[in-house]
Amino acid sequence: MTVRVLVVDDSAVVRELLQRNLSRDPEIEVVGTAPDPYVARDKIVALKPDVISLDVEMPRMDGITFLRKLMTYYPLPVVILSSLTPKGGALAVEALEAGAFDVMSKTRSADADEDIYAELSAKLKAAAQVKPASRTDSSPVRLAMSRAANKIVAVGASTGGTVALMGLLSAMPADAPAFVIVQHMPKHFTRAFANRLNEMCDIEVKEAENGDSVAPGRALIAPGDFHTLLRRSGSTYFVEVKNGPLVTRHRPSVNTLFKSVGKYAGRNAIGVILTGMGNDGAEGMKEMKDNGAYTIAQDEASCVVFGMPKEAIALRCVDSVLPLDRIPNKILDISQRT
């Protein structure tokens, strides 16, 4: 099956680069390009694309406004391309809340790594298989702890994970167990995402910095382009944030986090693997399980993409497979066990 893509970007250079490089994939057909949302609107009706790549910083109408209108009146899967800047990161997070399938940082370079275009192709093809749903504002259901939590909760997520994490963390009470999280996102995007979660949640949420303490009532988000690992000194847990090679084609890598949690927290840990493409996290979750951690995978029905949970389940290292809305209660239940 060929996936029909409409490229929307105000830069003629970017449009040409995307059209040329995406067309190298035999499973993708770029059916058209548009310099702004007004032209895109007409081309969507005429060309009926399966998926759209959308810039968020455009003249006449910004991409976020266009995305919201699209999700209301003509829902289509959308992959956001945003500049690799703090402003671009904030806009990307806003786009995900508005219903975008996934985000990537954009490049204007003809010499960009082929892996970048391969990753975009993969995201576009995955997005084309998913029925989009507009986001609705709703107050999260806050859960409560009956006694102090002493567990370390390690979470890994990729495509669809931003919205899943919003639901998971916003359900946590202020005295929830400590969280350390890898969500596949570029640098700058993770800080904007952590700041948005901190506004939504009763727990503190921040982008991890080297040496940050891991403590109840706090969630640390691995910064984009850096690995984040759990470390321990006596009874105190903290994170190490460092550079290094890609692991399972990612930096930060869920496998890297999970393996460190298995080593330093062992039976004191809970591993959670959420929606996402690929297999990052499966091997690490097995190491967590082998070291005594309790492990949870999101079920297929509630995943945007079932790749990462499916791979962990295939390794027989998952204790519970649950829909997203049941995972917060399970975490709190396990946290209260001695």
Does 102 lie in the same domain as 69? yes
How confident is the model at residue 261, as a pLDDT? 98
Does residue 250 carry a catalytic annotation? no
Q: Is 280 labeled as catalytic in the residue annotation?
A: yes
- 142 lies in some domain: no
Domain-ending residue, one of 128, 144, 168? 128
- Computed over every residue of the chain, the mean pLDDT equals 91
Which of 5-14, 28-37, 57-66, 158-167 bottoms out in mean pLDDT, i.e. has the lowest?
57-66
pLDDT at residue 275 tops 50: yes
Output the pLDDT for position 89.
86
Residue 126 class from Cβ within 10 Å (0-12 exposed, 13-18 middle, 19+ buried)?
buried
Q: Are residues 229 and 166 in the same domain?
A: yes
Task: Tell whether 163 and 257 lie within a shared domain.
Answer: yes
> Does the residue 135 lie in any domain?
no
Query: Are 116 and 165 contained in the same domain?
Result: no
238 and 296 co-located in one domain: yes
**Among 82, 184, 253, 260, which one carries the catalytic annotation?**
184
User: Per-residue pLDDT for 240 more than 70?
Assistant: yes
Cα–Cα distance measured from residue 214 to residue 55, given in angstroms and rounded to the nearest whole number = 36
**Section 64-74 average pLDDT:** 94
Q: Is residue 303 part of a domain?
A: yes
Instruction: Write out pLDDT tens, residues 288-335.
Output: 999 999 999 999 999 999 999 999 999 999 999 999 999 999 999 999
As a whole number, mean pLDDT of residues 260-267 equals: 97
User: Rounded to an integer, what distance in angstroms lies between the CA atom of residue 171 and that of residue 214?
Assistant: 19
Give the integer Cα–Cα distance in Å for 328 and 65: 32
pLDDT at 268 over 60: yes
pLDDT score at 148: 53
pLDDT of residue 136: 44
Query: Lowest mean pLDDT: which of 73-87, 100-114, 173-187?
Result: 100-114
Arithmetic mean of pLDDT, 205-227: 97
Same domain, 116 and 175: no
Read off the DSSP letter of residue 156.
E
CATH number at residue 215: 3.40.50.180
The verdict on residue 209 lying in a domain is yes
The answer on pLDDT for 182 being more than 70 is yes
pLDDT category at 113 given cuts 50, 70, 90 is low
Amino acid, single-letter form, for residue 246: L
Biggest alpha carbon distance in the chain? Answer: 64
Distances (CA, A) of 20 to 14, 160, 168: 10, 27, 39
pLDDT at 131: 74
Mean pLDDT confidence for 10-24: 93
Distance CA 319, CA 305 (A): 20
Q: Residue written as tokens 């959670």?
A: 272
Q: Are residues 181 and 232 in the same domain?
A: yes
pLDDT at 108: 54
Q: Based on the fold, state whether residues 173 and 91 are members of the same structural domain.
A: no
How far apart CA 153 and CA 335 sit, in angstroms, is 9
Residues 105, 79 contacting (CB under 8 angstroms): no
Q: Is the pLDDT of residue 110 over 50?
A: no
Please check whether residues 71 and 211 belong to one and the same domain.
Answer: no
Q: Which CATH number belongs to the domain containing residue 37 in this structure? A: 3.40.50.2300
pLDDT at 134 over 50: no
Residues 120 and 61 in one domain: yes
178 plus 123 within the same structural domain: no
Single residue among 66, 96, 128 that ends a domain in this structure: 128
Is 158 tagged catalytic?
yes
Catalytic residue among 121, 158, 170, 260: 158
Q: For residue 16, is it within any domain? A: yes
Considering the chain, what percentage of its residues have pLDDT values greater than 90?
80
Active site residue: 9, 280, 302, 335, which one? Answer: 280
Q: pLDDT over 70 for what percent of the chain?
A: 93
- In this structure, are residues 183 and 158 in contact, taking their beta carbons and an 8 Å threshold? yes
pLDDT for the residue 337: 81
The string over 274-308, giving b where at least 16 C-beta atoms fall within 10 Å of a residue's C-beta and e elsewhere, is bbbbbbbbbbbbbbbbebebbbbbbbeebbbbbbb
Query: In this structure, is residue 140 part of a structural domain?
Result: no
Name the least confident of 17-26, 136-145, 303-312: 136-145
Span 229-237, average pLDDT: 95
Total number of domains in the chain? 2
Write down the pLDDT at residue 138: 46
Q: Give the distance, in angstroms, between the CA of residue 245 and the centroid of all CA atoms in the same chain.
A: 20
**Of 323, 9, 304, nearest to 135 (Cα)?**
304
pLDDT at residue 263 tops 80: yes
Can you tell me the distance from the alpha carbon of 32 to that of 256, in angstroms, rounded to the nearest whole number? Answer: 40
Range of the domain at 114: 3-128
| pLDDT value for 140 | 58
Q: Could you read off the pLDDT of 39-50 as tens digits, one per residue?
A: 999 999 999 999
The pLDDT value recorded for residue 147 is 62
Computed on alpha carbons and rounded to an integer, the radius of gyration of the chain in Å comes to 20
On whether the CB atoms of residues 82 and 181 are closer than 8 A, the answer is no
56 within some domain? yes
94 and 158 in one domain? no
241 within domain boundaries? yes
